[in-house]
Amino acid sequence: MEITTLKDIANELGISVATVSKALKDYPDVNKETKKKVLYMANKLNYTPNQLAVNLRTKQTKTIGVIIPTTVHHFFSNVIDGIIAEAEKKGYLVIILQSDEKLFLEKLHVNLLIDKRVDGILMSLSNKTNEFVHLKKIISRKIPLVLFDKVEPSIACSKVRIDDKKAAYQAVCHLIKKGYRRIAHFRGDLNPKISNDRFEGYKEALLDHDISYDPSLVYVCNNNKDFEDGYLNAQKLIKEHSNIDSIFAITDLVAVGIIKYFNEKGIKIPNDIAVVGFSNWFMSSVVTPTLTTIDQPAYEIGKTATEILLQEIELTHLEQPIKHKEIILPTHLILRESS
């Protein structure tokens, strides 16, 4: 005997499949005695329901799909942790796909997940994503969608993110309060919202403290190799601007690249130049000097996004209307040696 089915139990007991099914699901219209017998036999034959059949029948898969740019990333692996933890708690499985920052893969994966009939989808958009038909397709199929981290405002769905502009503002204000005035910014790629938001926060902080904004102090890191971007741009910065006293980097990894270069060149942090990062990667607490940075609640972002998604799945299933939420989780400035 291979795998036990309802039919096997039914045959064994000389009753119908329907009754067996109902007995196992504790329907009221089945005799207590037969319930006992069914339970006993199910146990004896080691029965577990074939989820494929259940899924087909109930049109629910108890599975959610996740599309993120990459898993090899401190932030995303913590987000995944939060997602899986929350999903497991509610009995959902998690399928993870990587867009590798490519739009065509993102689209492909969306189709895959739709075909797979996942109950809901969680996405952080790739940096290259500048059109959104694939997201609209998800919504038109009535599949709950929650965007996190890299979100698109124009899409009607729930979103979980941080306030990048505010966090950047906070970081730069910190530098200003510490007395730094010539503040460079190593920004991210031009397209993504978070990159622009952080840039805006940087500018606004300068403005609010009557420091004139100098575009030549802004360096773009867009090679997808943050560490090297930081290292090389630090090199460039030192050549081009000798009078810099601090840098606000879009990412800890960029900041660590900067630190590496400065350490090699004997440039003292923070005495010669202060450095502030963004994300509070584990690494920032162990580099020398330790890095001042913005703590981004990655685990909570994953957990919260999943909570909302599962709620919306339940509501959809009950055919009730859903009100989309936009959650902004708080960030914290972590003060360390580098500033």
Interaction residues for DNA, span 51-80 (CB under 7 A): 52-54, 56-59
Distance of CA 275 to the CA centre of its chain: 26
d(CA 105, CA 13): 51
d(CA 294, CA 292): 7
Q: Which is nearer to a second copy, 163 or 228 (CB)?
A: 228
Q: Is 286 helix (H, G, I), strand (E, B) or coil?
A: coil
Interaction residues for a second copy, span 254-283 (CB under 8 A): 256-257, 259-260, 263, 282-283
Size of the residue set binding DNA (CB under 7 A): 30
Q: Which is nearer to a second copy, 172 or 259 (CB)?
A: 259
Residue 5 contacts DNA per CB under 7 A: yes
Q: Is 308 helix (H, G, I), strand (E, B) or coil?
A: helix
Minimum CB separation from a second copy for residue 49, in Å? 7
Q: Which is nearer to a second copy, 9 or 283 (CB)?
A: 283
Listed ranges 68-76, 178-186, 237-245, 316-324: which one lies at the site for a second copy (CB under 8 A): 68-76
- In single-letter form, the type of residue at position 128 comes to K
Is residue 176 within 8 Å of residue 142, measured between CB atoms?
no
Q: Which is nearer to a second copy, 3 or 335 (CB)?
A: 3
Residue 18 contacts DNA per CB under 7 A: yes
Residue 141 contacts DNA per CB under 7 A: no
Q: Which is nearer to a second copy, 52 or 318 (CB)?
A: 52
Residues 135-154: x/- map of binding to a second copy (CB under 8 A)?
------x-------------
DSSP single-letter state for residue 58: H
Q: Which is nearer to a second copy, 39 or 95 (CB)?
A: 95
State the binding partner of 224 from a second copy, DNA, none, CB within 5 to 8 A by kind: none
Any idea how long the chain is?
A: 339
Residue 24 contacts DNA per CB under 7 A: yes
d(CA 105, CA 98): 8
d(CA 157, CA 323): 9
DSSP single-letter state for residue 331: -
List the one residue from 21, 170, 196, 263 that touches DNA (CB under 7 A). Answer: 21
Q: Count CB-CB contacts under 10 A for residue 253.
A: 24
Residue 291 contacts a second copy per CB under 8 A: no
Is residue 182 within 8 Å of residue 216, measured between CB atoms?
no
Is residue 246 within 8 Å of residue 183, measured between CB atoms?
yes
- In single-letter form, the type of residue at position 67 comes to I
d(CA 210, CA 220): 24
Does an H or E element contain 327, and which?
strand 326-329
Which residues are at the interface with a second copy (CB under 8 A)? 3, 48-53, 55-56, 59, 61, 63, 70-74, 77-78, 80-81, 84-85, 88, 93-98, 111-112, 114-117, 141, 227, 256-257, 259-260, 263, 282-283, 286-288
Which residues are at the interface with DNA (CB under 7 A)? 3, 5-7, 14-19, 21-22, 24-25, 29-34, 47, 49-50, 52-54, 56-59
